[in-house]
């Protein structure tokens, strides 16, 4: 049942995000992925003999895990951030960031707006990578066009088919420029 509530303040969102981060870190510590000693938290040692060890290491350092380019940084294409891009990043109300996490609470819908609720549910359950933003270049690399540029201006990420985590879960896009 939907209950109308006032728009949360940034302070309330910051408190909520702090709780979420704390609970996630506690969960990861309980599962053995993080180690907490003397007020410091760090990643647990990765078992060197497991099949996931190279993938975990690569993911943590933004490096390619498999194939001939293993160990290299992922190639990114960037643009110079415009004033409009920077302003939109700074003026996001109902959006807070802390310790690498973000909480976005700007989208809402009334109880009688079922179409908005459906759209919101579809958004939060969508796949991580949209097939429409994937294409291949002539060298056979996969190019992911980002929906919106990163803060550093990155607009595209180029990777080999082996680098793409989900590998074969997308239809082969046509060869692009």
Residue with tokens 């074969």: 168
DSSP per-residue string spanning 38-74: TTEEEEPPPPTTSTTHHHHHHHHHTB--SSTTTTSBP
Q: Do the domain assignments include residue 78?
A: yes
Q: Do the domain assignments include residue 164?
A: no
How many domains does the chain contain in total? Answer: 1
pLDDT at 18: 94
pLDDT at 17: 94
Q: Do the domain assignments include residue 56?
A: yes
Confidence of residue 128 (pLDDT cuts 50, 70, 90): confident
More confident residue, 172 or 107: 107
| Beta-sheet strand order (sheet of 75-78) | 75-78, 154-159, 142-145, 134-136
pLDDT > 70? residue 100:
yes
pLDDT at 47: 66
Q: Do the domain assignments include residue 145?
A: yes
pLDDT digit string (tens) for 43-61? 777 666 676 666 766 776 7
- Taking the model in full, what pTM does it have? 0.53
Q: Do the domain assignments include residue 143?
A: yes
pLDDT > 60? residue 91:
no
Give residue 134's domain range: 10-159
């Amino acid at each position: 049942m939907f209950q109308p509530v006032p728009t949360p303040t940034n302070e309330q969102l910051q408190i909520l995000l702090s709780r979420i981060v704390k609970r996630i870190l506690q969960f990861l510590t309980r599962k053995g992925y993080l180690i907490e000693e003397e007020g410091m938290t760090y990643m647990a040692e990765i078992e060197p003999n497991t099949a996931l060890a190279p993938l975990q290491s690569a993911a943590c350092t933004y490096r390619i895990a498999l194939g001939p380019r293993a160990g290299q940084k992922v190639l990114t294409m960037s643009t110079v951030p415009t004033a409009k891009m920077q302003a939109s990043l700074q003026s996001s109300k109902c959006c807070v960031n802390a310790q690498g996490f973000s909480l976005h609470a700007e989208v809402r819908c009334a109880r009688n707006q079922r179409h908005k609720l459906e759209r919101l549910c579809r958004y939060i359950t969508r796949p991580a990578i949209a097939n429409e933003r994937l294409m291949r270049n002539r060298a056979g690399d996969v190019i992911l066009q980002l929906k919106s540029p990163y803060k550093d201006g990155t607009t595209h990420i180029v990777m080999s088919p082996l680098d793409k985590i989900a590998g074969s879960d997308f239809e082969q896009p046509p060869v692009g420029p």
